[in-house]
Amino acid sequence: MKNIFDFFKAKEEKRKITMISTYEYWSAKICEEAGIDCILVGDSVGMVDGGLKTTLPVKLEEMIYHGRAVRRGAPNTFITVDMPFMSYQVSTEKALENAGKIMKETCCNAVKLEGGEEIAKTIEKIVSAGIPVMGHVGLTPQSVHALGGYKVQGKTKEEQKRIIKDAKIIEQAGAFAIVLEAIPSDLAEEITEFLDIPTIGIGAGNKTDGQVLVFHDMMGFFDKTPKFVKKYVEGKKLFIEALTQFKKETQSGVFPGEEHTYQ
């Protein structure tokens, strides 16, 4: 993906979009080499890299630091950076200022905001300044306390109506794509059908226009992951094997060998 029009084209042509949430130079480099369509510098960085319980404490400066690292690792990939909690909720002016700061300092292509109707005006304001916005509805982790935990959303008719309404409003406000997180597959399919912009699902079944996973989850670095995570590699196991071998070889004097030694 070079720009937002490639997202629209992918939906039109029914080509599924791949997005990976990641935060480092090295993992971004791997994503670009693998041909991933879009990298999301997610505020999940606080939990995945920082060991936090929620994404709430993540700061704007931290998102910028990671955004810059990811841009260096993936100079040719479409990059979206999450706006962290309280960087866009206070006022539309403050939100625009912070979105602008992210764009200027990370050289990313877009920002992502969580929420529905309540942030429509904010999205309009940011989009009208020429900054592409990706929406995010369903399970919105920045509202974890209001939602009562990390739970599947849209289980009742009421909730479904609200999520559908929110998705429509986000599209009307000018978002170019929208993340659907942890909602039933049927609901995600319905939203995907009536929206013109692409939907990118995580825990939303396989009828969305694209899929997003967190790099560290899919690479198998964690024992406990949500149901929707598929581990494509047993990363933790491989790393432990490598570290154990390093320890063994260091202790026995096998490492470093001739080939790793300057004469």
Task: Let me know if 86 is exposed, middle or buried by CB neighbors in 10 A (0-12, 13-18, 19+).
Answer: middle
Length of the chain: 263
Backbone angles phi, psi at 225, to 5 degrees: -135, 160
Report which of 234, 185, 189, 179 is spatially closest to residue 38, judged by C-alpha positions: 179
Q: Which of 82, 166, 171, 209 binds ligand KIV (CB under 6 A)?
A: 82
Query: Are 95 and 122 spatial neighbours (Cβ–Cβ below 8 Å)?
Result: yes
Residue closer to ligand KIV, measured from CB, 10 or 19: 19
Which helix (H) or strand (E) covers residue 252, if one does? helix 235-252
Report which of 17, 136, 38, 26 is spatially closest to residue 84, judged by C-alpha positions: 136
CB-closest chain residue to ligand KIV: 42
- Cβ neighbours for 146, distance < 8 A, ≥ 6 positions apart: none
Residue closer to ligand KIV, measured from CB, 42 or 115: 42
- Total residues interacting with ligand KIV, rule: CB under 6 A: 11
Asked about 33 being catalytic, the answer comes back as: no
CB of 114 to ligand KIV, least distance (A): 7
Q: Which entry of 24, 114, 171, 181 is annotated as an active-site residue?
A: 181
Residue closer to ligand KIV, measured from CB, 64 or 260: 64
Other Cβ atoms within 10 Å of 30 Cβ, number: 16
Query: Are 133 and 127 spatial neighbours (Cβ–Cβ below 8 Å)?
Result: yes
3-state secondary structure of 199: strand
Q: x/- site string to ligand KIV, residues 36 to 65, per CB under 6 A? A: ----x-xxx---------------------
Residue closer to ligand KIV, measured from CB, 10 or 81: 81
Q: Which of 175, 214, 218, 219 binds ligand KIV (CB under 6 A)?
A: 214
Q: Which of 1, 4, 7, 21 binds ligand KIV (CB under 6 A)?
A: 21
Asked if 212 is part of the footprint of ligand KIV (rule: CB under 6 A), the reply reads yes
CB of 17 to ligand KIV, least distance (A): 13
Residue closer to ligand KIV, measured from CB, 170 or 179: 179
DSSP label of 202 = E
Q: x/- site string to ligand KIV, residues 165 to 184, per CB under 6 A? A: --------------x-x---
State the amino acid at position 39 in one-letter form: I
Report which of 244, 185, 248, 241 is spatially closest to residue 211, judged by C-alpha positions: 185
Q: Which residues are catalytic?
A: 181
Contacts with ligand KIV by CB under 6 A lie at: 21, 40, 42-44, 82, 179, 181, 202, 212, 214
